[in-house]
Amino acid sequence: MSSPSDSNESVVQLGNYSEEQIRSTKGVQTPRLFIECTQVGNYADEAAFLASKYGLTPDPWQEYVLRQWLGFRADGKWCHSRSALSVPRQNGKNALLEIRELFGMVGLGEKILHTAHEVKTARKAFLRLASFFENPKKYPELAALVVDIRKTNGQEAIFLKNGGSVEFVARSKNSSRGFTVDIVVMDEAQEMGFDALEALSPTTAAAPLKNRQLIWTGTPPSENMNSEVFTNIRTKALAGTSRRTCYLEWSMDDDGDPYDLAQIAMANPALNIRTGLEELLEDLDDFSEEGFARERGGCWRFAGTGAVIDPESWDDVKDSSSVTTQPVAFAVDIGPKRDSATIAVAGLRSDGRFHVEVIDNRKGTSWIIPRLTQLIAQHHVVAIVVDGPASSVVPELDALKVPVYRTSAQELGIACGMFYDAVMSKTLRHPDQPGLTAAVDAGRQRPLGDMWAWGRKLSESDITPVVAVTLALWGFVTAKPRTRRKAAKTKIMVMN
């Protein structure tokens, strides 16, 4: 049997592309999307010169990013106090961060906190940067700057004589507390929730150099990632509603053809420099088109939204003619700023499926008790359920002579799981109300021990409708009335 090595002719598999196309297609060095502030100057050339002495010569696209990250205003402060970069993997993002951190700590004496989603990623970043300071023969001037290099897992750090430092941690609610730094780097930003950001951001409140900067680097998130922070930064930057923010994105067009080499080149600046086109085309063969567009094309059109209930599943359980029988349970939810509130109902349909519906959604809270009083007079109510801000109305609800349930954290987690399961198993119906659908689409998860609950802070939208129907369903299932009236088909009227 012969093999390719037995022949003088090599076999090249090019698919639909010529060998010349494979060889000549180069990555585009400028971002497809960019939001930048005016600057009077920057330290990009100085950073590139310093890094090149140690083998870190930046590509043109990396120099472009450095000009934004290191751009300053007339008062000397960074023109971008917040900088975000979205670029597909294997394009040299880690080398770019090394250049920024090396220049920051050596050239500017900055105190830097480098964070990542996973411990192993933070550890790898530390080992790469530490290698420049642990080689006195090759880099004696860097080794001479060192005061201490800590290698203990979870406490990795490099401290220099000029006051500069870089410390490395994996993100969590508490891992970053106690730090006081100038710069926070948030790698793997596609996996970062608001709780982690709220722990990190105060570390720069008293920045030693009085010139803080937050840097996010990542890729479009997949559906199973908690990506609220990165998604929020991108959305606000592109909408023009954020201050002192730089957003740079290498990506395919939203409707770009993943088989178009020009589109691939636009998303991968290191194409045929650090990243081989043949390898990318192999991924194109193996991935779904949507997966390739997201993972290797940097396309946010196919990014995971983080929505708990996908639109298709919610649409599957709509029924504009759905009605409930008696008895029913009501629930009240009030927004955290008390600027909006919702009353919802849950019950059983005549076919045995659950029915949930928003009865009223209004601004303020003064209308809640009068409206509930009216509803209780009209229906056989087995429970009223409240949670969170709505707990403040419990004393007034007690006067209505109906069982009132204030959910515990565990009960809230059970309620959210119950609602999700009912939707996914199609044992629930809703009458297709736009406000409720918008709340379901905006709803995000927040961890609650081994369970989850609706995350009020994870969306700027009003999610009180979905919280209220969730609580109402739990109240209806959980309540055990002493007597039940004979079920009668009843249409719940929505008040405009």
- For the stretch 380-415, pLDDT in tens is 999 999 987 777 777 887 777 889 999 998 999 999
Tell me what pLDDT residue 175 has. 63
Per residue in 283-341, pLDDT tens?
Answer: 988 988 888 988 999 998 777 656 788 788 899 999 999 999 999 999 999 988 888 89
Rounded to whole angstroms, how far apart are CA atoms 423 and 346? 13
Predicted confidence (pLDDT) at residue 473 exceeds the cutoff of 90 = yes
Instruction: Give 136's pLDDT tier (boundaries 50, 70, 90).
Output: very high
Share of the chain above pLDDT 90, in %: 59
Question: Measured over all CA atoms, what is the biggest interatomic distance in the chain, rounded to whole angstroms?
Answer: 93
pLDDT at 1 over 60: no
Answer yes or no: pTM beyond 0.75: no
**Close Cβ partners of 141 (under 8 Å, ≥ 6 residues apart):** none
Question: Which residues make beta-bridge pairs with 357?
Answer: 345
Contact 59, 29 (CB under 8 A): yes
**Residue scoring higher pLDDT (303 or 433):** 433
Residues 444-466 have a mean pLDDT of 77
For the chain, helix (H) and strand (E) counts, in that order, are: 17, 21
Close Cβ partners of 290 (under 8 Å, ≥ 6 residues apart): 302
pLDDT above 60 (res 363): yes
- DSSP 8-class letter at 412: H
CA 384-474-488 angle, 5° bins = 70
CATH architecture of 33-249: 3-Layer(aba) Sandwich (3.40)
User: How does pLDDT run across 200-216, given as a tens digit for each residue?
Assistant: 878 888 889 999 999 99
**Which CATH architecture describes the domain 311-490?**
2-Layer Sandwich (3.30)
Q: Tens digits of per-residue pLDDT, 403-412?
A: 999 999 899 9
pLDDT computed for residue 316 by the predictor: 93
Which pLDDT value is given to residue 304? 62
E-assigned strands of 327-427? Answer: 328-334, 340-348, 354-363, 381-386, 404-406
Q: Give the per-residue pLDDT at 444.
A: 78
List of E strands, 70-175:
71-72, 82-86, 111-116, 146-150, 157-160, 165-170
Question: Phi first, then psi: what are they for 325, rounded to 5°?
Answer: -95, 175
**Where do the domains of the chain lie?**
33-249, 311-490
Number of Cα atoms under 13 Å in the Cβ half of residue 397: 23
Tell me what pLDDT residue 174 has. Answer: 65
Burial of 460 (0-12, 13-18, 19+ CB in 10 A): exposed
If you average pLDDT over residues 140-154, what whole number do you get? 93
Question: Which residues, in sequence order, are CB contacts of 177 under 8 Å at separation 6+?
Answer: 199
Sign of the alpha-carbon dihedral angle for 11, 15, 21, 24: negative
Look at residue 458 and tell me whether its pLDDT is greater than 70. no
Residue 451 is classified by DSSP as E
Q: In which residue are the tokens 């929730």 written?
A: 193
How far are the Cα atoms of 180, 386, 445 from residue 80, in angstroms, in the given order?
Answer: 19, 43, 30
**Predicted confidence (pLDDT) per residue in 101-131, tens digit:** 999 999 999 999 999 999 999 999 999 999 9
Name residue 20's amino acid.
Answer: E
